[in-house]
Structure 1
Amino acid sequence: MTIPATTQMHAEAAEAADAVARQFAANASVIDALVARLRAQPPRFIVTCARGSSDHAATYGKYLFETALGLVTASASPSVGSVYAVQPRLDDALFIVISQSGKSPDLLRNAEIAQAAGAHVVALVNVADSPLAQLADTVIPLHAGPENSVAATKSYLCSLAALLQLAARWSGDAELRAAADALPEALRDAWQQDWSPLVSGLRLASNLFVLGRGLGLAAAQEAALKFKETCGLHAEAFSSAEVKHGPMALIGPDFPVLVFAQDDDTGAGTAAVAEEFRARGAPVWLARPGAQGPGVLPLPATSHPACTPLLTVQAFYGAVNALAVARGHNPDVPPHLNKVTETV
């Protein structure tokens, strides 16, 4: 029988804190140079372009940039450029492409289109000599190191961390920057949290919802994807606000719900939704720093809510790896999936 601590997914997720620390040190000068350019020539708006887990990172970037910088941030649909061959109006925009491999043809094509349209193209990539890195105006290497498990873990957290480092330095927010600097140690703490009740509670589950809101929505999206690809468990992510617009009709006894919340203006409302579903008899788990009560999953505190989603994901990775093994799956080799998906 496989032991959860022996999987590649477990080993790679456990390296995330060291990878983020390495990234912050290596990228400081690159980030500072980019920030100097962005302050001298402020972009009119930000556009992100990504797929899969990287697109979940882009969701985090949207909320982070809009809350920390007040800059409208939109997600580009890669097919608009690569399939429909539309030339969007992107002059004076910051165009951020997130890709672990830097090889996906549709992302490369959209980066080319954005550059030709006058956008400054920034590539967040784990492979620093990839085609995307060679094309971009600015390259922010993720420094995650080799990742062999098909399920992305440390590279996803490094994507979030790179966005956090950029926003913290660009915004000039001293509290955000201090929290970002302390992130590696907080991630180490998050990795040690005991989420075993979630593992035992979902071992025989067939479906569940994962909820988050604002800065935490990306964590919910990432968790839902990981449930599907590593555990064969159907999970859907929703904003804790949007779930009330129809999907909540499914919630009742024996329909589990995993809720992520951070201590900002969305926290109380998200926790209230969790309690509403618990009152219906649904099995509910809530991850929120400092929360107490039934079904609470522990999380370390942080001095800024923008860091909480990274700690949530780090704790979650340990749990979902253990759940995959408990359900008889190999999280390193999910069926029908490849490490690099080269969408045209």
Structure 2
Amino acid sequence: MTLTSREITSQPAIWREALAGHSERATALLTLPGSRILVLGCGTSAFVAESFAALRESAGFGETDAAYASEPWPWRNYDAVIVLSRSGTTTEAIDALDRVPAGVRTIVVTGVADSPLADRADDVLLLDFADEESVVQTRFPTTFLLLARAAFGEDVSALPDEAEKALGRPLDIDVAAFSHFVYLGSGWTYGLAQEAALKIREAAQAWAESYPLLDYRHGPLAVADSRSLVWIIGRVERSLVADIESTGATVVSGVGDPLVELADAQRLAVAIAELRGLDPDSPRNLTRSIVLS
């Protein structure tokens, strides 16, 4: 069993620890009722930022924008900026935080307390118990989103048990039957779809795409065939499923909580990597944190 596999299956226990000991601080730092917030991240953290922004705004806590820390972003008189970085050392994230105007509250969510980002922030949501050794992130982003959903008023108390059951079952996907993997999501689950596809690209060097649910008809559907696996996370549109299946592709329509589905998607990435003889913990050309000279 690879390190990534152990970190994936550890998620139910990590989620329980998060809810038991970190919900109060997460609520204080992530809700900020009425505040206009910008959330920044790179890679996985950028996709998680998109999901977080959709969740917070739909929960009624205030305008929330998400952006890539590595890309220029317009300033809109934000009250606070949240930067997501597992390592706390990502150069673009540090540079982005340094560009925040004086007087704007800065909050860093990280797994490392004594990191450059943590040192620069006004407040830190420390998730060191969810940190991981693998280059490929799994439990850190899901733990953050679990805490965010709890902070926004969702009852997520049953999710650790649901995840434990799901991760204890066989994946039930013939990995060798597919060469093309697509994830679709809607609303906050589009960020999850992007993250699920990234896991396959990172860990398995395989062809993986992600799209907003209903936009899949608008061009990308042309690529689907019998070697395609299309996984819908969250809301399902039955007419779209029929259109996808008419290409010969296999559709997986999620029936569980989207966050649990993401954990299952992580398992699929590891399974593809192992089939290809790859180490999912040490992807080609990647490091745990992008630190630029």
**Among 166, 181, 189, which residue is 2:151 paired with?**
166
Corresponding position: 1:254 with 2:226: yes
CA distance in 1, matches of 2:198, 2:29: 32
CA distance in 1, matches of 2:25, 2:119: 15
Corresponding position: 1:150 with 2:135: yes
Query: Per the alignment, in what secondary structure is the counterpart of residue 22 of structure 2?
Result: helix
Q: Which residue of 2 aligns with 1:51?
A: 42
CA distance in 2, matches of 1:125, 1:105: 14
Q: Which residue of 1 aligns with 2:187?
A: 214
Structure 1 residues 141, 329: CA separation in 2 closer, same or farther (over 3 Å shift)? Answer: same
**Among 54, 59, 75, which residue is 1:68 paired with?**
59
- Aligned pairs, how many? 293
CA distance in 2, matches of 1:71, 1:244: 32
CA distance in 1, matches of 2:182, 2:26: 36
Which residue identity lines up with residue 90 of structure 2 in the other structure? S
1:121-165 Cα offsets, whole Å, 9 max, x none, are: 221111122221222222111234452222111112122223223
Runs of 4+ aligned structure 1 residues displaced above 6 Å come to none
Query: Per the alignment, in what secondary structure is the counterpart of residue 188 of structure 2?
Result: helix
Question: Normalized against structure 1, the TM-score is what?
Answer: 0.77
Q: Which residue of 2 aligns with 1:30?
A: 25
Query: Per the alignment, in what secondary structure is the counterpart of residue 122 of structure 1?
Result: strand
Structure 1 or 2: more helix by fraction: 1
Q: Percent identity?
A: 25
2:57, 2:64 within 8 Å by CA — same for their partners in 1? yes
1:13, 1:318 within 8 Å by CA — same for their partners in 2? yes
CA RMSD, 1 decimal: 2.3
CA distance in 2, matches of 1:218, 1:25: 26
1:163-199 Cα offsets, whole Å, 9 max, x none, are: 223322xxxxxxx1x2x22222222122123323252
Query: Per the alignment, in what secondary structure is the counterpart of residue 342 of structure 1?
Result: coil
1:311-340 Cα offsets, whole Å, 9 max, x none, are: 111112222212211122111121111111
Corresponding position: 1:17 with 2:2: no
Corresponding position: 1:194 with 2:194: no
1:221-240 Cα offsets, whole Å, 9 max, x none, are: 11111111111211111111
1:287-331 Cα offsets, whole Å, 9 max, x none, are: 321xxxxxxxxx4xxxxxxxx221111112222212211122111
1:19, 1:143 within 8 Å by CA — same for their partners in 2? no
Give 1 or 2 for the bigger CA radius of gyration: 1
Q: Which residue of 1 aligns with 2:265?
A: 316
Query: Per the alignment, in what secondary structure is the counterpart of residue 140 of structure 1?
Result: strand
Question: Normalized against structure 2, the TM-score is what?
Answer: 0.90
CA distance in 2, matches of 1:50, 1:331: 22
Q: Which residue of 2 aligns with 1:103?
A: 89
